[in-house]
Amino acid sequence: MRSSSGMDAASSTFPVWFIAIVLLSLQVYVAEGRNESSNPCVDGTYEHSGRTCCQCNTGQYLKEHCATDLQYGKCERCPPKTYSSQPNNLESCEPCTSCSQPNANLEVKASCTSGVDTKCQCKKDHYCSSGTETCTICNPCEECPEGIKVACSANSNTVCNVKSEGVNNGVITGSVLGSLIAAFVIALIAYCVWKRYGKSDPTPSQPTNAADLEMQQPLSAPVVDLLPHRPDIAKAIGWKDMRDIAMRSSISKKDIDSCQLDHQNDSQEQTLQLLNIWIEKQGREASKNLIQILETHGKRATAQDVLEILSHSQLPA
């Protein structure tokens, strides 16, 4: 039978070993924590030649890689007119954006720094139609001789009280008045016929019905070579309608903007250049497609003007 002193000695050895294991585990944990907290690479790391190096800070570039793990190499500040907008291990900085591009109508909003690129904005009385924060081309705001309806802004052109609206209203009013007069004359003739013969004669109304029927018929365009008539067609269509035609025909916005930049403040030349691009894309059916697009989108009068120009052509396509 074991003595009570032997049992006390055996029971006392267990806590000692247990405490030793716990202390050893705590020491390893603390050592790992110290290694993690001692990592100086606050902006991340990258691998080079089997070593883990710290990335250079924003506004710097890497000149030499590190010699030991978790250390910075030789980082230097970006030279003037260059920048780096995030931590990196690049061997050079990016060149700052220039706002002085020819015909772009841009000016500096915020100068370039070592960590931030230049910010450009449109010059006074110009706007950007791209709809994005970064603009590469600004267009002159439209002037409004008849008054401004909505002022030009950084991303939208001026909306004018266009004089042509009043002209159109006058034309519409005149057309309505003319129709009323014509209807009155026809009714008067019909009444006179009825009084004389005892019944109305439907014949007087036939020319009017025929005219209405003709207006409902779609215009038919011959397949004609448009090249000899380009200046006259461009003048008849105008820049705004030509731009709409180009956009509906999938002409790129870059090509449309290029026409504006090449001939600033000369809408006739802008229209002619864009018409040339459109004709080249349409090919043989250009004349037919042009009339159809104009008529389909409410420009029947313009389509008729173009047909009048094409009617003088003697050279079928």
Per-residue pLDDT of the chain (317 residues; tens, 9 = 90+): 444 444 454 445 556 666 767 676 666 454 444 444 567 899 999 999 999 999 999 999 999 999 999 999 999 999 999 999 999 999 999 999 999 888 889 999 999 999 999 999 999 999 987 767 778 889 999 988 888 889 998 888 999 987 654 545 555 566 778 788 888 889 888 888 777 765 444 444 444 455 555 555 777 777 878 778 888 888 888 888 888 888 888 888 888 888 888 887 888 888 888 888 888 888 878 878 888 888 888 888 888 888 888 877 644 44
For CATH 1.10.533.10, the residue range(s) in the chain are: 227-310
CATH 2.10.50.10 domain range(s) in the chain: 45-95, 96-161
For residue 263, the one-letter residue type is H
Cα 106 to Cα 122: distance, rounded to the nearest angstrom: 5
3-class SS of residue 287: helix
First to last CA, the chain: 125
Tokens representing 118? Answer: 């230049």
The confidence score (pLDDT) of residue 303 equals: 80
Structure tokens at 81: 């007119």
In the prediction, which pLDDT does 58 show? 96
- At 135 the pLDDT is 82
Residues with Cβ within 8 Å of residue 59, at least 6 apart in sequence: 77, 78, 83, 84, 113, 114, 115
Closest CA to 231 of 193, 191, 172, 271: 271
* The pairing of beta strand 94-95 with beta strand 82-83: antiparallel
Answer whether CATH 3.40.50.720 is correct for domain 45-95.
no
Q: Which two tokens stand for residue 32?
A: 């790992």
Domain 227-310 is of which CATH architecture?
Orthogonal Bundle (1.10)
270, two tokens: 């802008």
| CA dist list (Å): 204 to 45, 183, 184, 185, 191 | 93, 11, 12, 10, 11
Class of the CATH-defined domain 96-161: mainly beta
**Beta carbons of 157 and 139 less than 8 angstroms apart:** yes
Q: What is the pLDDT of residue 11?
A: 47
Q: In whole angstroms, what is the distance from residue 159 CA to residue 266 CA?
A: 19
Structure tokens at 303: 């389509």
Structure tokens at 178: 């003319």
Q: How far is CA 135 from CA 122, 178, 225, in A?
A: 8, 51, 39
* Closest among 316, 308, 317 to 232, alpha carbons compared: 308
Place of tokens 């931590």: 87
